[in-house]
Amino acid sequence: MTMQRDTWDSKLGFIMAASGSAVGLGNLWKFPYITWENNGGAFVLVYLGAVVILGLPIMMGEIFVGRTAHLSGAPAYKKLGGKGWSKLGYLGAAAGGVILSYYMVIAGWSLYSFWQCLGWSFGGYETPSSDAFGTFLGNGWLQIGLTALFTLMNAAIVLRGVGRGIERATRVMMPILVVIMLYLVITAMFMPGRNEAFAMIFSADFGRMPAVGYLEAVGQAFFSLSLGLGAMVAYGSYMKKSDSITHSAIWVVSVDTLFALLACVAMFTIILSVPELKAQVTAGEVGTVGMLFITLPQLFYTQMPGGVVLAPLFFILVAFAALSSTLSLGEVVASIMIDRRGWHRKKAVMITGGIVFVGSIFAALSLGASDALSSVTFKNVPVLSTIFGTKTGILSLLDHLAANWLLPVGGLGTTLFVGWFLKNDFILRELGIKNSNVIFNLWIWCLRVVAPVAIVALIIAVATGKDFS
């Protein structure tokens, strides 16, 4: 292995890098739009439940595996559990590749929005026509170009390894991101749609949530917390033994969840405050998928003091949030070739990056540029409709597959590995605890019983359920 096993400079270093991985498009882009699609409240509650019952214990489990093995991915599982368990690492790398191949496309939109905002800031804001975003999505070359640009940015950083680069960059970026998000939310609090937004997000009406919402909430918890494919194993492997796994995980989970909720509050308030926007979104004219890229610029330029400066800045930050997330995915994918084949990091990054990029071309063209790729769906095909849901288009199909299947299955593997395969004595010794305490027992029992039962029940329910509206 050529990767240097240095450690994070400080305990804060891990928290910053891991929150950088967790906070990303999942929070700013995906959480608001799937919450909207699932009619709010009840979905948010299920999501919060999944974060506490599944997310936190599994994150602690992944960090534990990495920190104990001092290795990432398949080699970590192999070292602690033997060859059979290393498959979990390979599954994770495959899931990472799938996620990257569409994540890069959406990340590319932030570069475009940045560019567009620069134009508005200097040339004056013009409300875009309601089909402007659709036209943008349907421009195949533009989509591929933006994806390529983002892929190169990511590769350039992963090439340098995960050491100090990530820690330093995220230490600067994360606080700024927090400040801008708070400013957004505070501004939103003075808008008329506030109460309606709160009602939609925080009052649960289970009757209005489609059944598939349960699966999506769990999938989103995995996705948003960067769990299920070994990203936290990789980051945990750089952690010092003296740093508390519990503390660090609680921090990352809290920061990530707060970001998701705040993004939702800001976005919903804006939509519900601007009548034309509300009409368009409710009627499905402006796809909810584009919320982050359509509704926010509108707020910046029409409602917000200082929006002219903040708008471009905000999209730089969206780009950085996405980048600090793709770094962890890129690292997981590349390190598998470094570890398994002994490839040099440069070769591994270039080849895996190239393969992922080819995959992402299909996703990039599935937004309107290619009819075939945009309209492919398996909703009427037995078995495949379970795996891919009722989604249409390559990008959405890949997202559904990765978030709702690959990540929960990967997470299930980790619960079985830490909860059942590893011996309690061994874990206690590694943690430097003499006798098990309440927190330890809660954690282990979550991993042993609660989390696996919940995930398996969910998988069975989805696999046999007919209720996919």
| Sites of contact with ligand TRP (CB under 6 A) | 21-22, 24-27, 99, 223-224, 226, 228-229, 231, 325, 328-329, 407
Nearer to ligand TRP, 301 or 331 (CB): 331
Q: Shortest approach of ligand TRP to residue 74 CB, angstroms?
A: 15
- Asked if residue 271 lies in contact with residue 278, where contact means CB atoms within 8 angstroms, the answer is yes
Region for 128 from its dihedrals, namely left if φ exceeds 0, alpha if ψ lies in -120 to 50, beta otherwise: beta
Nearer to ligand TRP, 38 or 224 (CB): 224
Shortest Å distance, C-beta 127 to ligand TRP: 29
DSSP bridge pairs for 377: 392
Q: Tell me how far, at minimum, the Cβ of 24 lies from ligand TRP, in Å.
A: 3
Smallest distance, ligand TRP to C-beta of residue 54, A: 13
DSSP structure class, residue 377: B
CA distances from 364 to 136, 184, 250, 296, 390 (A): 11, 30, 35, 23, 20
For the bound state, the minimum distance from the C-beta of residue 40 to ligand TRP, rounded and expressed in Å, comes to: 19
Least separation in angstroms between CB 386 and ligand TRP: 21
Nearest distance in Å: CB 303, ligand TRP: 26
Nearest Cα residue to 359 out of 379, 373, 348, 378 = 373
CA nearest 147: which of 195, 109, 194? 109
Q: 116 or 325: whose CB is closer to ligand TRP? A: 325
| Nearest residue (CB) to ligand TRP, 151 versus 325 | 325
User: What's the rounded Cα separation, in Å, for the pair 86 and 88?
Assistant: 5
Q: Which is nearer to ligand TRP, 26 or 290 (CB)?
A: 26
Burial-class residue 438 by CB neighbours within 10 Å (0-12, 13-18, 19+). Answer: exposed
Nearer residue to ligand TRP within complex by CB, 257 or 273: 257
Report the C-alpha gap between 432 and 147 in whole angstroms. Answer: 45
Select the residue whose beta carbon is closest to ligand TRP and give its number.
26
Would you say the C-alpha torsion 16, 17, 19, 23 has a positive or negative sign? positive
For ligand TRP, the closer CB: 36 or 301: 36
Going by C-alpha positions, the residue among 101, 137, 96, 341 that lies closest to residue 234 is 96
